[in-house]
Amino acid sequence: MNLWTIKTKIPIALIIMRMIIGLLLIVLSMMQVRHYPIIAISILSVGLISDIFDGIIARHLNVSSAFLRRLDSTADQLFFISIAIATYLQNPAFFKSNAFQLAILAITEGLAYLVCFIRFKKEIATHTIGAKIWTLFIFATLIQLMLNGESTMLFSLFFWIGMVTRLEIITILLILKKWTNDVPTVFHSILIRQGKEIKRHKLFNG
């Protein structure tokens, strides 16, 4: 696939924009700009929209590929790491008080990537339904933290949904015989292992 056609440039631009947005938030946080929470939430919303629509647009234009899905996954990681750094700079006390849970979640995330690299020599690009749901909880938790400086119930949901979805991804990686992008659930990974076709939808995992 030619990566630099007009059609492929659109999703690539959205993916790159998301990485730039993450770095921009770190800079704004370090500068301690006025009205940072409102600015950060607005920028974060743009990043979330780009995350939703880059894959949808790529599939609609019939340019979705393993390369784009891998690039999308890498951008997601860099984006949310950047957001975490920016939020930490604004509210280090929250991160210190919840360091244990965050460390466990980070270790589990790292373990998922380690399993993928050991088995397939590639990064994760499963884009599971659970991971998509978790992204929404990340977004909601970050907004609450930016606005209130604290998050209790939402953070708890964020943590447990994150753990469940990370463990699901590890399970999927262990089930698959070869690297595959866009695997919605463990059930679908079993079908793929058996050599069966899975039903795909252009809006989610086409």
| Band of pLDDT at residue 59, cut at 50, 70 and 90 | confident
> Helix or strand or coil: residue 35?
coil
**Cα gap 93→71, rounded to integer Å:** 33
User: In the predicted model, what is the mean pLDDT of residues 152-156?
Assistant: 94
**Residue 89 in contact with residue 30, Cβ under 8 Å?**
yes
With residue 110 as reference, give the H or E element that holds it. Answer: helix 99-120
Percent of the chain with pLDDT over 70: 94
Produce one character per residue of 157-182: b if its CB has 16 or more CB atoms within 10 Å, e if not.
ebbebbbebbebbbbbbebbeebbbb
User: With bands split at pLDDT 50, 70 and 90, how would you rate the model's confidence at 28?
Assistant: very high
What pLDDT, on a 0 to 100 scale, did the predictor assign at position 201?
63
Token couple for 185: 């659930």
| Mean pLDDT estimate for the chain | 89
Q: Measured between alpha carbons, how far is 197 from 65 in angstroms, rounded to an integer?
A: 17
Which two structure tokens, joined as six digits, stand for 67? 């390369």
- pLDDT > 90? residue 117: yes
- Res. 64 pLDDT band, cuts 50 70 90: confident
Supply the pLDDT for residue 202: 60
What's the rounded mean pLDDT across residues 38-45?
A: 92
96 φ/ψ angles, rounded to the nearest 5 degrees: -70, -40
Output the CA torsion 34→35→36→42 (10° steps): -140
